[in-house]
Amino acid sequence: MQSENMINLRVNKTPTTTTQKFCNMLITSIMIISIILASWSPQAFSATTLTPDTELDMQELNLQELSISIDEDMQAVAAGAQGPVKWHPGHYMMLVGGGKDSSWYMKQIYTELEAHSALRGLVIRYEWAELEPTKGVYNFASIDHHLAELAKRNKRLIILIETKSFGATEIRVPKYLQTAEYEGGVFAFGHSGSNVIDGYNIKLWNQNVFLRFAALTKALGQHLNAHPYFEGAGLQESALGTPIKPITSTQVNTYYTNLLGINKHFRNNFPNTMSFQYLNFPRTYLSSLVNGLKAMGATLGCPDVFIQDPGLLFPGTKYSPKGIYPYYTELSGAMPLAIQIEKANYLNTKFDGSGYKPTVTELLNFAKQTLKVNYIFWTRSPGYYDDVLAMLRQKAQTSNLSGGLQSACPASYGSCNTN
């Protein structure tokens, strides 16, 4: 009450000449600012061209507004989940290359799985083009074969769907998508300031591409959701890549909005199965993406464990958003958490190579204690994987089914099926 009375006294008091001048100046300034703001709108930036140098520094623009309506829809998806979600957290072996199609190679893999109780199953990568060789014609024979072999051994299968390549001659989407109807389906990306192609990413801002990807998730869900040994399906990293040919901010915003949309389709089509999205960059979009995944009941994933990387570890400031790792600690127990450990992580603690070569135990402890993950996907990289297997034979990893990782059913799941 005392402060309120003081305000009333100041308002009723007759102003001095100096105060009158100040008020007039203030009113004039406000009018000028109002005129400027009236002529400005976020849409004024919708045609802004993003050059390779600015792609990773772009602002969120309209995504926050879009993500609010998306989040409401995502909560409806989570609430509509039918029954418990299959829940078998722990250590999984991730295959690389074309080994999944080699009977000799897979015989060795199954032997390793049988010899290591801490390994709960496999993560196998599939290019979109492998799963849909022609439009609307799906080929899940390889998945079915591996599921049958894993089920016999009481092991489980997770798949990672690849749409982004890391080679100048590699395109991972079907041929029919590489036509004018889909704007060619992909765009080339490289390093900032260079025209050298490092790989290709999907043009997810194109609505026709989005709809075909959504159709793939539906076909996969109808075929695999009910299988008791099919543990999960997920998508590659969120990092867009630096486009060789500049793209607009509208295309970027639509890309990330549609990325959440594809994850929504996964949750709809896999109501009883874990689905995940690898997130790493750009940091300006992480908050919207993480919140959307949490609201829909999806799993937060990351493609790397770089235990000293400043970009991934960045705690955030008033002016710069945080990296992906701080979200893990905050969301432990609230939503499922998964992480991939690949060859680059065995080699160095930082993405740019300026760190040191970590031990497998250091990688495990960081994922387990700092990130508090439920799932670890260990890439089977020659020269390093023997150390992983030795670690997985230790008592700390064999004393329970989750291999010492967080195993409580996350709050975002209505219930968990551990059978």
For residue 188, what is the domain's CATH number? 3.20.20.80
Q: Provide the 3-class DSSP secondary structure of residue 335.
A: strand
138-141: long-range contacts, CB 8 A cutoff, minimum separation 24: 138/216, 138/219, 138/220, 138/223, 140/219, 140/220, 140/223, 140/224
pLDDT bracket for residue 68 (50, 70, 90): very low
- Per-residue pLDDT, averaged over 298-311, amounts to 98
Assess whether pLDDT exceeds 50 at residue 234.
Answer: yes
Rounded CA separation 53/51 (Å): 5
**95 is a domain residue:** yes
Task: Look at residue 385 in the predicted model and tell me its pLDDT.
Answer: 96
Yes or no: say if 123 and 159 are a contact pair by the CB < 8 Å rule.
Answer: yes
**341 is a domain residue:** yes
- Per-residue pLDDT, averaged over 173-193, amounts to 96
Q: Within a 13 Å sphere around the CA of 19, how many CA atoms are in the beta-carbon half?
A: 6
**29 is a domain residue:** no
Place of tokens 């508090």: 372
Place of tokens 């199609």: 101
**217 is a domain residue:** yes
Assess whether pLDDT exceeds 50 at residue 47.
Answer: no
Task: Look at residue 98 in the predicted model and tell me its pLDDT.
Answer: 86
Place of tokens 């998945």: 143
**232 is a domain residue:** yes
Phi then psi for 332, rounded to 5 degrees? -60, 125
Q: Report the number of distinct structural domains present in the chain.
A: 1
Task: List the domain range (segments joined by +) for residue 263.
Answer: 48-417
Assess whether pLDDT exceeds 90 at residue 65.
Answer: no
- Per-residue pLDDT, averaged over 39-65, amounts to 35
- Per-residue pLDDT, averaged over 6-18, amounts to 34
**13 is a domain residue:** no
Rg (CA), the chain: 25
**112 is a domain residue:** yes
**12 is a domain residue:** no
pLDDT single digits (tens) 28-44: 444 444 433 333 333 32
pLDDT single digits (tens) 357-388: 999 999 999 999 999 999 999 999 999 999 99
Positive or negative, the CA dihedral 188, 192, 195, 197 is negative
- Residue-averaged pLDDT of the chain: 86
Q: Within a 13 Å sphere around the CA of 294, how many CA atoms are in the beta-carbon half?
A: 17
Q: What is the pTM of this model?
A: 0.84
- Per-residue pLDDT, averaged over 133-148, amounts to 98
